[in-house]
Structure 1
């Protein structure tokens, strides 16, 4: 498709009232903005390639650049859409109170219905993006043909609730620009390059405070959460589409292998990697994910 230029505006960080909105011209191949529909956000995304429809969804405080190690491979084989979720990257920052999982799901649902009517996507999500992908598959199986969850926010045991509650408390009561990177440190591996760690921390420091604080907790805590314990198990068991879940915890992998009903589903335990499996072991992830997709 022909490359086009679009005039974008950098996010006016809500935490800093004196920030100036700076206009910038960004060249993508091609880049799009999904029009706002009702309470859905205007999303930045790129599309490239031909073949099966693939959409990649990043995690909490990240953006679609997380998939830089996958996009060349995916775009060479499939029609690949890479999205910045609301409040992240170049997508629209919504007001406080609009960062529940259902809000994120509604955005992706609207994006597909508006720009790809009558089509289905294989959703590849990391961390929070993995849960958002699975939630959309549960809500709209007519839009989702399969889900790849890369250390997605599902399947954690009840004992993890205390850790996640502490993280929420620290984010609310402390400085998220410090407590967020400290939380990341719990999920790295000795093989995670220091440059990745610094990138993740600096990027989080560019996300508006209310987005950081409001997006994390509902994934694991409160009514409607599907990240922890029996609620997560019941949710995963309800999914009818094929799911490929890659995770770093052997016990979690053992449990979740029995949760997905579709015979094409699988769960793999990965070692020598941190939470960003697709970055720490990019070539291995690319081979594993594309092989699974090609067999669907």
Structure 2
């Protein structure tokens, strides 16, 4: 092994959005093991030292977790994926065992720069399929747009893309609460709207406790720029325009049928697809691990 009370649910937000939502459209081998930490000099942004694990052989697959999460979120996928592919599971900056950066260093471009450097330096000349959850899905998509020479395909597990315009104003309330409130209270309260009735209580407690151990700046500063301000690609026309610019195979899994219907025409590659997943919370990989594993491996094997 290489080791190196605002309703923010898609269902709730699309309900709040109302008409706005409607206008959107809305090869195998043996395993190997060793330990690594990746870092490199950057011309324009300080890079973080990233913790990652690498196991397996076959197609290159890199896993990117979401906001306030870490690579343990993929624990239900790793045994299956590592038996079929060469899997690199990363902790993003300020998350898990990766380096905590100072305030002001949690823009989407910062996260993208770290992953770009990891691939370009440690895996020079190679391309990866990127699978990202939530924020990690948007980071993966941004890197694919910026460096198609290092990304061969993207899997977005309820990724931070394709929200209606009205989501921006709703999210602003959540971001403001994060800036001023007690993160141990505000964070889990926002998570509550992202769960399904089937989500295990143990998952909810894990997510809440993990946030309490994170650096406050990583929690407070990461989510807003995904959807708010200049350069955001998470909501409205900006998100649609961005997604339509991607030409590589793109597999997006989401939790509302309206979003799936809206986003399907945005991806031009014939191997791309957008799927609606019912009866699951935001952490699809934890609520429906077997189904997700089967869907993802089938899609990857068909590339």
TM-score by length of 2: 0.88
Instruction: Please give the residue correspondences for 1:118-133 in structure 2 after superposition, counting only pairs within 5 Å.
Output: 118-133=125-140
Instruction: Please give the residue correspondences for 1:180-195 in structure 2 after superposition, counting only pairs within 5 Å.
Output: 180-195=187-202
Please state whether the residue corresponding to 1:47 is helix, strand or coil.
strand
> Aligned to 1:112, which of 82, 94, 119?
119
Rounded Cα–Cα distance in structure 2 between residues aligned with 1:288 and 1:31: 30
In the alignment, what sits opposite 1:33?
37
Gaps of 5+ in 1: 7-27
In the alignment, what sits opposite 1:57?
64
Please state whether the residue corresponding to 1:189 is helix, strand or coil.
coil
Residues 31 and 44 of structure 1 are in contact (CA less than 8 Å); yes or no, is this contact kept in structure 2?
no
Shift, 1:35, TM fit: 2.4
Residues 92 and 111 of structure 2 are in contact (CA less than 8 Å); yes or no, is this contact kept in structure 1?
yes
Rounded Cα–Cα distance in structure 1 between residues aligned with 2:41 and 2:70: 22
The runs of at least 4 consecutive aligned structure 1 residues that moved more than 3 Å come to 3-6
In the alignment, what sits opposite 1:265?
272
Shift, 1:5, TM fit: 8.8
Q: How many residues align?
A: 273
Rounded Cα–Cα distance in structure 1 between residues aligned with 2:298 and 2:3: 34
Please state whether the residue corresponding to 2:166 is helix, strand or coil.
helix
In the alignment, what sits opposite 2:203?
196
Q: Deviations over 1:214-273 (max 9, x none)?
A: 001000000000000000000000001100000001110001111001110000000010
Instruction: Please give the residue correspondences for 1:1-296 in structure 2 after superposition, counting only pairs within 5 Å.
Output: 29-38=33-42, 39-296=46-303
Gaps of 5+ in 2: 5-31
Shift, 1:158, TM fit: 1.1
Rounded Cα–Cα distance in structure 2 between residues aligned with 1:4 and 1:93: 21
Rounded Cα–Cα distance in structure 1 between residues aligned with 2:102 and 2:33: 30
Rounded Cα–Cα distance in structure 2 between residues aligned with 1:282 and 1:34: 29
Rounded Cα–Cα distance in structure 1 between residues aligned with 2:33 and 2:75: 14
In the alignment, what sits opposite 1:21?
none
Shift, 1:31, TM fit: 2.6
Please state whether the residue corresponding to 1:258 is helix, strand or coil.
helix
In the alignment, what sits opposite 1:16?
none
Higher mean C-alpha deviation, range 29-38 or range 260-269: 29-38
Residues 3 and 52 of structure 2 are in contact (CA less than 8 Å); yes or no, is this contact kept in structure 1?
no
Higher relative contact order (CA 8 A, sep 6+): 2
